[in-house]
Structure 1
Amino acid sequence: MPRAASIVEYTVKPERAEELTGAVRDHLVTAAREIPGYLGFLLFDRGENKRMAVLLFDSPAGVRTAQEVLSPVGEEHTYQLMSSGAIGSLGIVLVDDGVLAG
């Protein structure tokens, strides 16, 4: 079974950027760690108040579970800090260099 990622992009309200980063760390990362197949969480600052989160899982099923579990957590703790809605997608790993042990 190939590894997969949940990729989420959104724009943050500039005055809420630090608060949103803390909410992601405290609520979403904590919840993601409990999902079977979880391998890691990365949050990127893409400039111009844009953010991208990449959650890595050992299979596409883990991504689907993450989307179900984390959407309500995000709605409760992060959505009000964003200036745009989150757009999520599922990506299947095509190249894996073996560095991420899972």
Structure 2
Amino acid sequence: MLTILYALICAAIALRLATFNRNGGDYRPLPALLAWVITVAAGSVPLRAMLGALPSPDPAAVLLAAVVLTALIGSRGSVMRLLPRRRQQPTPASHLNGRFQP
């Protein structure tokens, strides 16, 4: 029973990532690569389960997959939103427009 649940959760992860639409957003290489790796890894689980080559998963793996699925649904399939944001350093030109403070 746990194997079927794990396979269904992983299939949902792979489908959610495979059907993601950027809607004209910028292409970022690192999140795109990460999304591809997660899609392939999660998509292999249902295939291995159908072939009978998947060992029985432990409850922690099922819980972790459910958390990843929940995060992906919350971010509407965007891996970029799951990654921490880097703060951009202010450029000298934008600092010139600020007030002078001694």
User: What is the TM-score normalised by the length of structure 2?
Assistant: 0.29
Tell me which protein shows more helix as a share of its residues.
2
| Bigger Rg, structure 1 or 2 | 2
